Amino acid sequence: MYIPFSSLRWWCVLLLALPLSLVAETRHIHLIKLLDNENPNYVIREGCRSISYAIDQEVNLLAANLGIDNVISYNLSGPNFRLDKLDQVLDYDMAYQERDIVIVVYVGHGFRDAGSTSPYPNLYFNSYDQSVNYADVLLRLQDMNPSLLMNIVIACNVTVQDYSAPPPYQAVNTAPEVVAMPKTARHRGIYTSLFADEPGLTKVVNLFSADQEYYTFLSNDGGIFFNEIIYTLQDVLAGGDYSGWNDICAKIAARTEERSARKAMTQKPRCRYEITYGPVELRASSSLLTDTECKLVNRNLRRQQRQELRQLRRQHRERMRSVRRAGADRNQRRLLAREQRVEYENRKLSHEKEYQRRLLACR
């Protein structure tokens, strides 16, 4: 009987991943959605809607296949599509994270400043004054030492010429190309292999729709690049012929360029897989914004509150380990996860009340 080599390779992956799958999974998934879904442009709004739905579906499947009981979403969309909201998530909310999976999705305008050496675009939060280069965000996220960090950025990366108008972008709303959908079955062992927690390092998957000086072509269905991310992930998780994250990133980029060329468009993504070793000392600025005097006064309070969240996360993770070792079923684990989520939200509420009280006293 003939067995294709690609199938043999994935069976080897499944067998190697089996011991890992038996380890009690205590991680969370943190999903940060930065979606400009109130943009005046209809195509951007609809693209945000399509991408948001697809990401939610994939993250839910990821959690189910890894046996993760808690997905924490930070929905920075609509009125929360603001730089200060992102700063709060990075500065405080994400302190409740220990070797978790972090997924960031940005959909909106992007641009470059003349002379910029960063390969990444500036994220545009409705004004040039409220913009940040993604390199700064990336450093902050990597310094948190997650087990895996996936960055999906759907934005242009072209040098802006006119600061009196929003950054330029390219829309395309021709009928989407018919793509043969991959097999729908998912292999849990492949999820386990790709998203495994390997101590001492962070896997970083960077999926940017545009390299330096390239536009992103967005459409109602999310655009060619985003759909290639979804198609490729579905294919690999169904046992397709891939050899790991490097191969996945390369295929996404190549297919995006091929499909764009067939529509007489030029789109060159930046897709990279990297490994960073940690834990590392904080290299990034403690804030994406310029702190006011009052916020500087209360920085020590925030530092103490972050430490409390970290300690709470460790306690929750150890508690989840113990109930798994005791043989708790999925329903019992879900109940514990909900109880821990309530405790986390209550702790955040008490922290915020104290922080705001101190700010008022400072003014």
Q: Which of 266, 165, 173 is nearest to 216 (CA)?
A: 266
Q: How far is CA 61 from CA 39, 54, 331, in A?
A: 29, 11, 17
Greatest Cα pair distance, the chain, in angstroms, is 78
Q: Which of these ranges, 59-68, 77-86, 101-110, 290-299, has the smallest mean pLDDT?
A: 290-299
Give the chain's end-to-end CA distance (angstroms, integer): 78
Is 5-284 in CATH node 3.40.50.2300?
no
Q: What is the pLDDT of residues 103-142, one digit of tens each?
A: 999 999 999 999 999 999 999 999 999 999 999 999 999 9
Q: What is the pLDDT of residues 246-282, one digit of tens each?
A: 999 999 999 999 999 998 889 999 999 999 986 555 4
Q: Which of 144, 159, 67 is nearest to 113 (CA)?
A: 159
The set of residues, in sequence order, having a beta carbon less than 8 Å from that of 48 and lying 6+ positions away, is 35, 36, 37, 39, 77, 107, 108
Q: Where are the domains of the chain?
A: 5-284, 291-363
Q: What is the pTM of this model?
A: 0.86
106: β partners: 34, 153
What does DSSP say about strands 217-218 and 170-171: parallel, antiparallel, or unpaired?
parallel
Tell me what the mean pLDDT of segment 14-18 comes to. Answer: 46
